[in-house]
Structure 1
Amino acid sequence: MLNVEQIQQIIPHRPPFLLIDRILELEPGKRAVGLKNVTMNEPHFVGHFPGFPVMPGVLILEALAQVGATAILAVEANKGKIGLFAGVDEFRWRGQVVPGDTLTLEVEIVRLKGPVGKGQATAKVGDKVVAEGQLMFALTDPSKD
């Protein structure tokens, strides 16, 4: 299990845009399972939506991407690189996420060819799938660009 400090040693995201609290399972280069505790203190709830707080779907998508990035960037050869979104396929939101929920985020890397890959992503609250689909990414090395 990785805590926030350990996650930040792997991926470049920082608060307020670091959207995962823990990594529960990690197989570098293959898969990761993360956790996001959703709280009313998050700034997006001020406007999304007043009196009816719902976590924006794009932030659920981003949290999944950060879990996937943890899996890919935990590989020693990828240390210091950044994973950029290259696409999203067959993605569906299937339920609302509200303050007090705990999101379990799982990404399995299903394809990796050079710096480009694809992950199968699933977000759950308890046993209920709230979002799922495929995330495409491209690795870049900012020190060489």
Structure 2
Amino acid sequence: MTDLLDAVRPLVACDRVTAIVDGDVRRITGELRVHGDGPYLPDHFPGLTIFPGVFVLEAVVQAAAAAFGEPDGRRLRLTAVRSLRFLVPLRPGDLLRVLAEATAVSPPHPVRLRADCRRGDGVRVATATVECGWSG
């Protein structure tokens, strides 16, 4: 079985992705452990290390891309951010869990994702509604 994350390498924003298809709905879970040794963390922000919000967004998109795979050689790419709200920062050692829901569609139809991003202890860190299109 091919690793779902192969589609998004070399930059991987999720350690693990699972997807469940239930009728027309695809439920996606992505997880990432925030490591303090990442080259982007020490300077974001100096004296108060937090996981950059753009990486939370990237985790949402990559979880979906991994869950949908590459039908007909096409890859899912972010095309629009309809809503994005950051509520609580993530720090080194935290677990980011992305819980997203999308209508199970195939190219060329766009994919609309609603994501609830939570810390490992269940605290909501962000919410997002994004649209993705197919490239390739």
Q: TM-score band, normalised by the shorter chain?
A: 0.7 to 0.9
Structure 1-normalised TM-score? 0.80
Q: How does 1:20-35 map to 2 (within 5 A)?
A: 20-23=14-17, 25-27=18-20, 30-35=26-31
Question: What are structure 2's unaligned runs of at least 5 residues?
Answer: none
In structure 2, C-alpha distance between the alignment counterparts of 1:79 and 1:18, rounded to whole Å: 22
Conserved? CA contact 1:32–1:70, under 8 Å: no
Deviation at 1:46, TM superposition (A): 2.4
Aligned equivalent of 2:62: 66
In structure 2, C-alpha distance between the alignment counterparts of 1:127 and 1:61, rounded to whole Å: 18
Aligned equivalent of 1:134: 129
Q: How does 1:66-105 map to 2 (within 5 A)?
A: 66-73=62-69, 78=71, 80-105=73-98
Conserved? CA contact 2:26–2:104, under 8 Å: no
In structure 1, C-alpha distance between the alignment counterparts of 2:5 and 2:88, rounded to whole Å: 29
Deviation at 1:56, TM superposition (A): 0.7
> What RMSD over aligned residues (CA atoms) do the two structures have, in Å?
2.2
In structure 1, C-alpha distance between the alignment counterparts of 2:72 and 2:88, rounded to whole Å: 35
Question: What are structure 1's unaligned runs of at least 5 residues?
Answer: none
Q: How does 1:47-66 map to 2 (within 5 A)?
A: 47-66=43-62
Conserved? CA contact 1:20–1:36, under 8 Å: yes
AA matched with 2:36? M
Conserved? CA contact 1:112–1:118, under 8 Å: no
In structure 1, C-alpha distance between the alignment counterparts of 2:5 and 2:69, rounded to whole Å: 11
In structure 2, C-alpha distance between the alignment counterparts of 1:61 and 1:79, rounded to whole Å: 25
Q: Percent identity?
A: 23
Deviation at 1:73, TM superposition (A): 1.7
Matched, 1:13 2:9: yes
What secondary structure does 1:99 align onto? coil
Which segments of structure 1 move beyond 6 Å, counting only runs of 4 or more? none
Deviation at 1:8, TM superposition (A): 3.2
AA matched with 1:54? I
In structure 2, C-alpha distance between the alignment counterparts of 1:19 and 1:79, rounded to whole Å: 24
